[in-house]
Amino acid sequence: MKVFVRTSAREDVLRQFRYYLLEKAAPAIAQRFLDAVESKLDRLRRMPDMGTPKKLAHPVLAGLRSAPVPGFASMRVYYIHLNNELRIVRVLHGKRDIDSLFEGES
């Protein structure tokens, strides 16, 4: 299965990594976060329907699912599985208002 990670998702991961590294001064946690995201993406590639379906008004995001990042339960990977492709849309804190965040997505 092909995995495509959107630029916005890469930026989300980098932003969270920097938060742990710089603001929390926790390089070990920052690295653990990167490893956990990579592990989750690998698991999603093998089992793409494991995440929880999300219902959003935006038609482009039909089929959006979310799954927690292991060890960082409040962080979620938002993705779409279509045919033999896995599209990683965002990696965000689960309490974010995803409806408004995804309004501008294409």
> Does residue 14 sit in helix, strand or coil?
helix
**Is residue 104 very low, low, confident or very high in pLDDT (cuts 50, 70, 90)?**
low
User: How close are the terminal C-alpha atoms of the chain, in Å?
Assistant: 22
**CATH annotation of 2-102:** 3.30.2310.20
Q: What percent of the chain has pLDDT over 70?
A: 96
Question: Any residues with CB less than 8 A from the CB of 90 and at least 6 apart, and which?
Answer: 6, 8, 9, 12, 77, 78, 98, 101, 102
> What are the start-end ranges of the H helices in the chain?
7-18, 27-46, 98-102
Instruction: Tell me what the pLDDT averaged over the chain comes to.
Output: 91
The residue extents of the domains of the chain are 2-102
* Predicted pLDDT at 105: 61
Average pLDDT over every residue of 24-37: 97
Cα–Cα nearest to 76, from 62, 87, 65, 86: 65
Separation between Cα atoms, residue 46 and residue 42, nearest integer Å:
7
Q: What is the pTM of this model?
A: 0.91
pLDDT tens by residue, 52-99? 998 877 777 888 999 999 999 899 999 999 989 999 999 999 888 777
pLDDT for residue 106 is more than 60? no
* Predicted pLDDT at 48: 95
Would you state the structure tokens that stand for residue 8, as one six-digit string?
A: 């916005």
